[in-house]
Structure formats: C-alpha cells, structure tokens
Amino acid sequence: MLGGEIMSEIVMQITELTKVFPLRDSKVGFKAVDSISIDLYKGEVLGVVGESGSGKSTLARCAFGITEPTSGGTIILGQSLVGKSRKATRELRAHLGFVFQDPAGSINPRMSVHAAIAEPLMLAGMDSDSIDKRVNFLMDRVGLATSQLSRKSHELSGGQCQRVAIARALATNPKIVLLDEPTSSLDLSVQAQILNLLEELRRDFDLTYFLISHNLDVVSHLSDRVAVMKDGVFVEVGSTRQVVDAPKHPFTRELIRVYSGAAREFDLDTWQDGPMNRWAFQNVSTFLPTRKIEASTKPLEFKALIDDTLDAITIDVADSTYTLPELLADVDTDAIVVVRKATLVYEKYFNDMTEDSVHLLQSVSKSILGALYAVMVERGVIDIDKPIAFYLPELVGSVYEDATIAQALDMTVAINFSEDYSDPQSEMARLDRAAGWRTNTTGQDLGLRSFLGTMTASGEHGKAYQYCSANTDVLAWLISEVTQTPYQELLTRYIWQPMGAHDDASIIVDSEGLSVGNGGISCTTRDLARFGLLIVNHGRANGEQVIPTAWIDATLAGASADVESADYLQALHPGGSYKNKWWITAGASREIFGVGIYGQYVWVDPTSETVIAKFSSLPIPVDGVHSRKHMALFKAICAH
C-alpha cells in the first residue's frame, strides 16, 4: 500500500485529534493540534517533521496518552486510551515505549543505570532474577557494557544516556515507540550511532516508531512515511520518497531547500528577491503574462554629450564617502541614464543590461498612471471627485464605495491594507497572489477584481497619507472600464507614443487579462528618462502638449498640509509629500520623483532641468539606508 509494501495491521489509529490550550485573553484558545487523523502501520516508521510551535510534540503526547486531547483520540492495538480503568490503561501502556530529547533529564539522576532500566520491569511485577537477566540483555542490545550498570546519568556521555533511555523504553517489550527528538541534543557523530541503533532495534524487535523531529535529515533518513506539520495540521503526508523528491506544499519545499543547503532558487515566490531579481526584472515577460505598450513612430531623440567628470564626484552618505561609480555599485545598479537640458550626459549599464533592454519599473508604474489620469481628466472622461464605485459598481460594499478617485491618486484612502512585502499574510502578499506575481494555492483572491472587492475601510478617507498599492490597481481597472479600452492601449495612445518612446514597453496582466497598474510596467532606461522629461518640459514633447501643464504645477505643489503624513516619509524628506502618484520634496529646489521597490527611480529636478532614470536589483524591497543613498546620489548628480 505504501512504497509498494503491504502493511496489513494498523497498530495505532489517531482520529481527529485536537488539542486546544486556553489563552488568557481569548475565549477560543490556541489550537496546537487541529483535527489530525493518521494511522500507524505495524513495523513502519512514521516521521513527523515541523518547526517549533508546529504542534508536533503536543500531537505525540496526546496520541500516546501523556496529555489529554481536547477532542478526538487514539486507538492503540484496537483499544481506546479514553475511559479505561487505571489497570487497563497501564496494561496498554506496557505496549508503548518513550524516548525523549534530553537523555540526561529523562533518567532520574539519583538512579543507577540498572535501576533506571529495571524500574519499568519492577512496576510490571517481574522477579529480580528475571529483571537482572533482562537488563543485561537490553544493555547488550543497546551497545553498553554491563560494567556501566552501576553508573549514574551524570557519569555518562550524552550518547550513552540516550542508549540507556532506549533500553528503558524497550524494557517491557513495547510494540510502538515514541521517539521525540531522540537525537537533537547529540553531536553529529553520536547521532549517527543512535540512528543506526534505532534502525537495528526496529528490525530485530519488529517495532513501530512514531518519530518526531525538527530535523528533516533525521526524519527522512529513518522514516517510511513523512508527515510535514505546520500550525497544528499536516500540510503534507506521503512516503518519504514522495515527500522528498516531489514535495507539494511550499513549506515542504522550503524545508527541503534549507536542509539541502541550496540557495533560494528562482521561482514565482522568489523572483523579486535578490539575487534572482537581477535576471527576473529584465525578463518579466518570459515568465509572467504581459501586454505590449507600443513605441512611437517618431521617437524623441536627445543629443548625447557624456560628461565624464560626473565619475569623479564624491558623495557623503551613511558614514562613508563614495565616488559615483562606487555608489552605483553599492546600490546594485542595473542601469542609469541622466538627461540634463535635453542632453544625455550620463549613461551606464550593468548586469547584462543594454540601452535596448527593458527593466521592471515596479511602483514607478504608478507615476505613469498618474500622468494618464491627468490626460483623462482634461479630456473630461472622468470626474476624480466621484467615488470609485460610481464608475465600478462591482465595488459597492468595499472600501472603494466611498473613496474617491482623487483620494486613490493621493494615497489618502483609509484602508485595511498592510503593505508589508515580507509578510506572506499581508494584504500586499494577497495582492501579489491575485495579480499572479506569486503562487496562489489559497483558492482565494483569484484575479485582481475579486481581491479588490474584498478591501475594507479603516476610517475616514482623505485625512492621512497611507501608501497602498491596491489603490493604483483599482484606478487602472477603472479607467479601462470607463473608456472600454485596455489599459495598455490607453498608455500607448496617450502617453507612450505622444512622449516619443523609442522602444515598446510592456505591462504585466493578471489571469483575467487586467493590467497590474501598481507596478507591472517594464521599459528601457532611456524611455523612462523620456517620461521624466515630460515633467521638465511642462508636459510637452515633440512640440505637442502631452500632459496638461496645470496638472504638473498642481502636482509640484504637493499634498495639502491638512493631510497627515507618515513618519518614514518625513524622515527621508522633511516636508515632502505624495500627490497624483508622485513623490514631491519640500524646499527651494522642489524635486519630483517616482519610486519602485528594489531600487527603481525616475527623478526629476525641474530647477536644473535634470532627469535621472535608474534601475536596480537590490536584495530587499525597501530600506532606509538604500533610500538615503539614492537620494544623496540623485542630489549630487543634479548639483554637479
């Protein structure tokens, strides 16, 4: 039945076993084991692997009658542990053996080795001659000399202690033995001895093992079947070969990877992290569905006059002094293009990038959406002071029933949304799953539309700045719904071609073909600089007004002072704010920029008429050090 073997007899049957520990501040309590059912077959080794807090030890204790389960139970050799007389329970217990993690602790320190092994025999009522014979036999079987019999646990090494514990566990000739982290406190070389011994004893005495360990190597080595436990449930059960060779659950895969010592590999859950993102950000369209944003037939050209002196500037930041090339390397730069007064003055590519290769913009995509909305408003397509659900009635009942388009543009929607990129439970991670940016095995959030409909309000809108990526996705959906035109076509028609893009760009779409407006655009570095030039040139390109000047001026003025800002924003840019999907600094030279996680930027300094387009593949999504380094870098270039 399993692994081709026939396992006829079930020796232990665990049925819907649940253990709830009461919590002080909760009526529900903490479910350490959540309705686990599994059978143990005669002669097999069932290994349960899990991390601390997974509930594996509680499961074992409940299954073996050490702890009372909250519900469910165990049938051992055809008899239930529950509701039995003391005597019957004791007889049943004689069929069970126990080996625990801490060998020294599980043997009474005042007892001699002989007494420790003899104790269960005495309780079983054996006479002393038979006891001595049995103890000597067991000592021999676990590889200890009889000369050790008079010793006490503190006179033994860890391995010897564990051998004594095994002898004691086997004293009454049990049929099923619980091995709870049997080798976790032992050194590697001693662990191997004990593992070999356990296997030998299992074969010779026809034992069945219930093995619990955090160590996947130990579990997979010793077990016929492996159950992977996490948060009180088995996320995966199968023959050892199945589980090790073809793990199904992401946690099993992660555990196997960790134990193999391999680095994280490129897959749908890791592609955004360093170092996988170096290749991934330049090749998004090879592994995610994308739609094309088309180039202009008459691209905007700029003069090229490379200013080598930029390489010599020094930048003081984060307790160090860097030259420009040093700082670029430090922030894992993939590409940088600097355009000043319509002239290309600096251009560098790294990590296989060229002027023809595209790179994922991440949240700089949001700033492009901001520009598209400027055009749409001017054309009278929409009224940004209307609630979003006015245009998308599907969203009635969600946070977007009351939140207006303007509030979504300025990120002042009060929404229950955690933008935590590292927390797999955060709304941001759910958004990624809905957009197809991560594997989605949850069965929920299938597509952006269904995800966005589940978002709820957390307070009054328009009062405080709260960065939330979902707000941009909802706007990309809205505008293509109102215009009945795919989002990528709107971008092509109203931004990309009018601004004179040299190359095609692309945007990632979800499983239903809806554009991921919050971060899905990829384009060349120079085209990103062309987009930035629109701001410097008051919205004009190739002699035409692409985006309205008034909108640019309004955006440059920043958010209203009534809007409560965020600590991190003020720490980085005192007085700065977020408006129309752009970041704006305060002070005399008012810079405006778009930012994406892992180091994507378009930086515009209207005063010096400088545009910097820059791509990176930083190892982590956001951190203050990198942000500060980037700011220093941009300001130094603009000031040069």
Partner 1 sequence: MSTVLKISELEVDFQINGVITNTPLRGINIEIKAGKTLGIVGETGCGKTLTATAIMGLLPSSAVQRGQIEFADHGVINKSEMAAIRGSEITMIFQNPQSAFNPIFTIGAQLTMVAQRRGISDIKAILVARLESVGLRDPRRVLESYPHELSGGMLQRAMIAMALLSTPTLLIADEPTTALDATIGDQVLTLIATLQKREGFAMLFISHDVTAVAKVSDEIAVIYAGRVVETGPAHDVMSSPQHPYTRGLLGAIPSAEKARGTLVTIPGNVPSVLTNIKGCAFAERCSARIDKCDQEPPIVEIGNRSVACWVVKS
Distance (Å) of CA 206 to CA 142, 176, 203, 620: 15, 9, 5, 52
Which residue reads 């998308």 in tokens? 392
Instruction: Given the residues 223, 363, 398, 522, select the one marked as catalytic.
Output: 363
Q: How far is the CB of 317 from partner 1 (least distance, A)?
A: 11
**Identity of the residue, 251 or 266, whose beta carbon is nearer to partner 1 in the bound complex:** 251
Which of 128, 150, 196, 441 is close enough to bind partner 1 by CB under 8 A? Answer: 196
Residue 182: name the closest of 173, 193, 69 by CA. Answer: 193
DSSP class per residue in 425-454 = TSHHHHHHHHHTSS---SS---SHHHHHTT
Give the DSSP letter string of 144-188: --GGGTT-BGGGS-HHHHHHHHHHHHHTT--SEEEEESTTTTS-H
Nearer to partner 1, 251 or 467 (CB): 251
Sequence letter at residue 305 = L
Task: Identify whether 275 is preceded by a cis peptide bond (ω within 30 of 0).
Answer: yes
Residue 190, number of CB atoms within 10 A of its CB: 17
Report the site for partner 1 in 404-463 (rule: CB under 8 A): 420, 422-423
Choose, by CB under 8 A, the member of 5, 16, 51, 206 that binds partner 1: 51
Which residue in the set 77, 195, 233, 313 belongs to the binding site for partner 1 (CB under 8 A)? Answer: 195
- Of residues 132, 199, 402, 489, which one binds partner 1 by CB under 8 A? 199
Report the distance separating Cα 619 and Cα 616, nearest Å: 9
If the CB atoms of residues 362 and 580 are measured against partner 1, the closer one turns out to be 362
Indicate the Cα dihedral angle 36, 56, 199, 204, nearest 10°.
Answer: -50
Nearer to partner 1 by Cβ, of 4 and 125: the residue is 4
Count of residues that interact with partner 1, criterion CB under 8 A: 54
10, 40 contact by CB (below 8 A): yes
Beta bridge mates, 386: none
To partner 1, the closest distance from the beta carbon of 452 in angstroms equals: 24
Scan residues 559-618 and list those touching partner 1 (CB under 8 A): 567, 571
206 forms part of the interface with partner 1 (CB under 8 A)? no
Radius of gyration of the chain (CA): 33
Phi-psi region of 436 (alpha: psi -120 to 50; beta: other; left: phi over 0): left
Question: Per CB under 8 A, which region of 56-64, 186-194, 277-285, 362-370 contacts partner 1?
Answer: 186-194
- DSSP-derived secondary structure letter, 95: T
What is the pattern of x (binds partner 1, CB under 8 A) and - over residues 253-272? -xx-xxxxx-xx--------
We find the least distance from the C-beta atom of residue 623 to partner 1, in angstroms, to be 4
What single-letter amino acid sits at 567? Answer: D
Kindly state the smallest distance separating residue 203's Cβ from partner 1, in Å. Answer: 8
Q: Is 347 in the site for partner 1 (CB under 8 A)?
A: no
The one-letter code for the residue type at 365 is S
| Distance separating alpha carbons of residues 68 and 81, to the nearest angstrom | 10
Residue 234 CA to residue 180 CA, distance in Å, equals 17
Taking CB under 8 A as the criterion, the residue among 4, 8, 25, 52 binding partner 1 is 52
Distance of closest approach, residue 231 Cβ to partner 1, in angstroms? 13
No. of helices (H) and no. of strands (E), the chain = 23, 26
Instruction: Kindly state whether residue 330 participates in binding partner 1, applying the rule CB under 8 A.
Output: yes
Are 251 and 53 within 8 A, CB to CB? no
Q: Does the active-site annotation cover 71?
A: no
Does position 104 interact with partner 1 (CB under 8 A)? The reply is no
Q: Minimum distance between the CB of residue 630 and partner 1, rounded to whole angstroms?
A: 13
By CB under 8 A, residue 5 contacts partner 1: no
Q: How far is the CB of 622 from partner 1 (least distance, A)?
A: 8
Report whether 497 contacts 295 (CB < 8 A): yes
Q: Locate all alpha helices (DSSP H) within 357-486, ordered by sequence.
A: 364-378, 388-391, 405-410, 427-435, 448-452, 470-483
The reply on whether position 217 binds partner 1 by CB under 8 A is yes
| Cβ distance to partner 1 smaller for residue 101 or 407 | 101
Among residues 214, 249, 502, 635, which is the contact residue for partner 1, using CB under 8 A?
214
Q: How far apart are CA 613 and CA 502, in angstroms?
A: 15
Pairwise CA distance, residues 285 & 287, whole Å:
6
Can residue 622 be called a binding residue for partner 1 (CB under 8 A)? yes
For the window 360-399, what string marks contact with partner 1 as x by the rule CB under 8 A? ----------------------------------------
* Residues facing 39 on adjacent strands: 13
Q: Is residue 216 part of the contact set for partner 1 (CB under 8 A)?
A: yes
User: Considering only 161-169, 365-373, 609-617, 625-633, which stretch makes contact with partner 1 by CB under 8 A?
Assistant: 625-633
State how far the Cα of 546 lies from the Cα of 495, in Å rounded to an integer: 7
Verify binding: residue 111, partner 1, rule CB under 8 A: no
> In angstroms, what is the minimal distance from the CB of 211 to partner 1?
12
Catalytic residues: 363
* Contact residues: partner 1, CB under 8 A: 51-52, 157, 159, 187-193, 195-196, 199-200, 203, 214-218, 220-222, 240-241, 244, 251, 254-255, 257-261, 263-264, 274, 318-319, 330, 420, 422-423, 567, 571, 619-620, 622-626, 628
